[in-house]
Structure 1
Amino acid sequence: MKSALVTGANKGIGFEVARELARKGFYVYLGSRNLESGRSAVEKLKGEGINNVGTVQLDVADPESVFAARNTIGLKTGTLDVLVNNAGISGGLQQSALETPAEQFRTVFETNLFGVIGVTQAFMDLLKGSTAPRIVNVSTSMASLALAAELDNRNYPKRYAAYQSSKSALNMYTISLAYELRDTPFKVNAVCPGWTKTDFTGQQGTSTAEEAAQRIVKYALIDENGPTGKFFSEEYFPEPANCPW
């Protein structure tokens, strides 16, 4: 059975990604900062008859937690086929480029960028054991420099300087990672799940968590002819070639 790790999987989009991958036949590890929340999520899935799931305590902003999660999963399997870097934080609603303290930027980057880097590097040996490893970094259309550079763009009635900057940096990391792995079986892509109704958005949005998860899982399941080093935002740009970084 193939295996997958989804970070931030105890609720919201991450939970739905875990559910969808499990339905596709993967054994899914639900990474959760709070272990009890992770256990509750697993019990919910098992109550639906989905038994090929487990949880692991994983705070992506804590290197010791990441190391411990790698060891825990490594004792159970020598191979990881899919890594979905979903865990992320908004950093609050007041994010002025002029007034937001640098410390607030650091906090957001710690999870949204450095957390992804730490988890990816920690699990790389298990991913290399797969014949078709896939990494999906959950990004956002709000990270697009091309879109944000249109200063009167109606898609951005508000700007979130720390959050957008962290996800733009994540996009560049995605490209760099895909480049270094270009001659291997890896496929590495960034995916915007869309404006999704979850706790993260205050239950506002145009997509459900289930719809968002399907957009992400699609790129976790691509074959050897699929793209790598790309950004996809299907809610806003149905044609991938038109997705601006």
Structure 2
Amino acid sequence: MKTVFITGANKGIGFETAKQFAQKDYYVYLGSRDIGKGIQAISELNNEGLQNVETIEIDVSNDASIEKASKTLEEKISKLDILINNAGIRGDFPQYPSTANVGMIRKVYNTNLFGTIKVIQSFLPLLKLSPAPRIVNITSGLASLTLHNDPGWKYYPIKGAAYGPSKTALNAYTIALAYELRDTPFKVNVVDPGYTATDFNQHRRTKDVSEAAAFIIKYATIGDDGPSGKYFSDDNNPLTFESPW
């Protein structure tokens, strides 16, 4: 049975992604910063007849927590097939570049960028034991420099000093990692699941988490001939993985 670890998976898109993976007969490790919420999420999945799920406590903004989670996982499995870095925070809004609190910006970067890097580095030994390892970093259209310079883009006015730039940096890191691993079986990509109704945006959108999760899984399970170091979006934006991001 293939294995997958998903950060920030006790609710929202992460939870739905865990659910859909479990339905596809993957063994799913559901990462949760709050272990109580993780246990509650597992109970909900168990009640739906899904037993191939476990929760592991992980706070991606805390190096010690990440290392503990990776060691816990190493004691449970001989390899990890898929890592999905879904955990992220928005930070306080508005995020005017001229006045945004630098401490808040650091906090967002610590979770969205540095935390993700630490998770990848900590879980790489297990991923390298898989014959076809996959890493998906969840990004956002708000990370795109190309779109932010296009006045015709529907989200053109939505700019900020923390969230979008943290994801821009994550995109850049993903390209660098994919290049480093280019001669290995790894596939490393960034996926923008689109503007989905979750707690993250106070459920202000109509797109359902089931759609977002299915899109993530599509690129988390690409074949050996699939691309690496690319960007995929499900938000009807004009970019493709062949366009400047």
The TM tier, using the shorter chain, reads over 0.9
Give the secondary-structure state (helix, strand or coil) at the position aligned to 2:76: coil
Greater shift, 98-107 or 168-177, is seen at 98-107
Superposition deviation, residue 156 in structure 1: 2.5
What CA distance in whole angstroms lies between the structure 2 residues aligned with 1:11 and 1:207? 16
1:234 to partner: Cα distance: 2.4
> Residues 118-165 of structure 1: CA distance to partner in whole angstroms, max 9, x if unpaired?
000000000000000000000001100101123564422321220011
SS of the aligned residue for 1:75 comes to helix
1:86 corresponds in structure 2 to 86
Q: What residue in structure 1 maps to residue 111 of structure 2?
A: 111
- One-letter code aligned to 1:132: A
C-alpha spacing 1:208/1:242, structure 2 compared with 1 (3 Å): farther
The verdict on how the C-alpha distance between 1:243 and 1:201 changes in structure 2, with shifts beyond 3 A counting, is farther
What residue in structure 2 maps to residue 148 of structure 1? 148
1:112 touches 1:170 (CA, 8 Å); kept in 2? yes
> Is 1:135 aligned to 2:127, yes or no?
no
CA shift for structure 1 position 91: 0.4
Are residue 75 (structure 1) and residue 95 (structure 2) matched?
Answer: no
- Deviation of residue 240 (structure 1)? 3.3
Aligned pairs for 1:12-23 within 5 A: 12-23=12-23
Letter in structure 1 aligned against 2:159: R
Stretch moving more, 18-27 or 28-37: 18-27
**What residue is the counterpart of 2:223 in the other structure?**
223
Note if 1:179 corresponds to 2:179.
Answer: yes
Is the partner of 1:61 in helix, strand or coil? Answer: coil
Rounded to whole Å, the distance in 1 between the matches of 2:134 and 2:86 is 14
| Residue of structure 1 equivalent to 2:158 | 158
In structure 2, how many angstroms separate the alpha carbons of the residues matched to 1:157 and 1:84?
29
Please list every run of 5 or more consecutive structure 1 residues that lacks an aligned counterpart in the other structure: none
Deviations 1:199-222 (A, max 9, x none): 001101241111111111111110
How many aligned residue pairs are there?
Answer: 245
The answer for the alignment partner of 1:96 in structure 2 is 96
Secondary structure, counterpart of 2:162 in structure 1: helix
**Does structure 2 conserve the Cα–Cα contact (< 8 Å) formed by 1:30 and 1:55?**
yes
Using the TM superposition, name which of 60-69 and 233-242 deviates more: 233-242
Distance (whole Å) between structure 2 residues aligned to residue 244 and residue 41 of structure 1: 38
Describe the superposition over 1:154-203 as per-residue Cα deviations: whole angstroms up to 9, x where unpaired. Answer: 42232122001100000001100100000000000000010000000110
1:93 is displaced (CA, Å) by 1.6
Distance in structure 2 (CA, Å) of the matches to 1:153 and 1:194: 14
Q: Which position in structure 1 is the counterpart of 2:44?
A: 44
1:244 Cα offset (Å): 4.1
Give the CA deviation at 1:78: 1.8
How far apart in 2 are the matches of 1:166 and 1:239? 19
Q: Which residue in 2 is equivalent to 1:26?
A: 26
How far, CA to CA, are the matches of 2:31 and 2:191 in structure 1? 19
| RMSD (Å) for aligned C-alpha atoms | 1.4
1:193 alignment counterpart: 193
Rounded to whole Å, the distance in 1 between the matches of 2:108 and 2:154 is: 25
3-state SS in 1 of match to 2:226: coil
Give the letter aligned to residue 162 of structure 2. Answer: A
Partner of 2:190: helix, strand, or coil? strand
Percent pairwise identity? 50
